[in-house]
Structure 1
């Protein structure tokens, strides 16, 4: 082989290897996101949480692919290691040893209870709920431990696909209370308007909890994705991109405060 031909072959090999490397590097990290958590995460792939996640990974120079699915599937897949991450998640016993959260919550959620004004519930707190009370929750959602303990006291937790579906049940008198996870963007007015229900009103609220991007402890991209997100999130906080997203979605400053990372 002539020196000229050798150089050409060598160059072609190097180009091929570079192409393979770029193809591997370009493979996006796949994350699942809930389809019914407006305005944080909407069915069309938009939302405040989606914007923050995408901006954080962009700041870390990492490509991600968001797959919009029902929350129950999102949670099941990340727990099984079938996807690198899922959002937005809150602490729950079944996540322990399977999912690790980002260092900082995407937002804070407030458990708010609604009742039918034609059949109001006298309770003004969880401790006041009588045995047999039917409380509608969303299938697969994580709720504060004190909520999950209600069943030990005879309260019935009735699961459905969405908060809107639960509110329709409440308006029809099929449940006594609806537990909705509210926040600084999803107001009572927005929730009730989107559900298109009447005769439903706020009853009481319990303590808030953080909502996180959760990463699989068994998926090969899980821990790498968590490291990239944490790094990118710190960058967008420092360079003002996070605050710009807050303003875009009319979110008050400093809504989600940093907390120590936890292994769930």
Structure 2
């Protein structure tokens, strides 16, 4: 979608696939003009500006071991007992509900990816793992990808955040690229290109 957005504006964009933590570091240090997928955090103030429209919404989901289920509230709130070891992915931006787990005594342990967190959860190295899924994929997709779908499962939701592309305010091309991207998004949404891309990626 990002490439189609810039193409609509007759601009060639080059993508480089790197771990998200490196992507964010490169943008904060002005090595690249933009990085995705990002969700707003206070640390971005004055450094990164997000695109006007989200690419998708990200669900912050707590997963549990099937053989060691988590205690749950009757109304499914995002609450865990103090001392619960929770796997998260390093440098991801999480919802306020997830961060409240740490404030209330949860012990956060970093993994390199959501897939690694699920594998550690399956191995009982974590008691819970917070996994990101978006509104264009099934919630259990990463469990399938990590080979843990028979040992872990969704427990409860810990909120939604918007995820999009962020542009560096200090990179010489950052603000110009942001203006181009926002206008390109408006155009591909209006002319049907965005909807066709979504149908192609995620056919019903």
- C-alpha change, 1:226 and 1:188, in structure 2 (3 Å) is same
Q: What CA distance in whole angstroms lies between the structure 2 residues aligned with 1:251 and 1:148?
A: 34
Deviations along 1:87-135, whole A, 9 cap, x unmatched? Answer: 0001112212110000100100111111001111012322x31110111
Where structure 1 has 5 or more consecutive residues not aligned to the other structure, the ranges are: 1-51, 253-264
For the residue of structure 2 that corresponds to 1:68, the secondary structure is coil
CA contact (8 A) 2:55 2:165 kept: yes
Of residues 89, 110, 134, the one that matches 2:59 is 110
Q: What CA distance in whole angstroms lies between the structure 1 residues aligned with 2:112 and 2:137?
A: 18
Higher relative contact order (CA 8 A, sep 6+): 2
CA RMSD of superposed structures (Å): 1.3
Deviations along 1:182-220, whole A, 9 cap, x unmatched? Answer: 122332332211000132111001221100100001000
Of residues 25, 36, 56, the one that matches 1:76 is 25
For residue 47 of structure 2, what is the aligned residue in structure 1?
98
Match status 1:199 vs 2:151:
yes
Higher fraction of helix? 1
For residue 183 of structure 2, what is the aligned residue in structure 1?
231
For residue 43 of structure 1, what is the aligned residue in structure 2?
none
Bigger radius of gyration, 1 or 2?
1
For the residue of structure 2 that corresponds to 1:191, the secondary structure is helix
Match status 1:210 vs 2:155:
no
Match status 1:122 vs 2:78:
no
Equivalent pairs counted in the alignment come to: 200
Deviations along 1:124-179, whole A, 9 cap, x unmatched? Answer: 322x3111011111011000123223222111111111111111101111101111
For the residue of structure 1 that corresponds to 2:140, the secondary structure is helix
For the residue of structure 1 that corresponds to 2:145, the secondary structure is helix
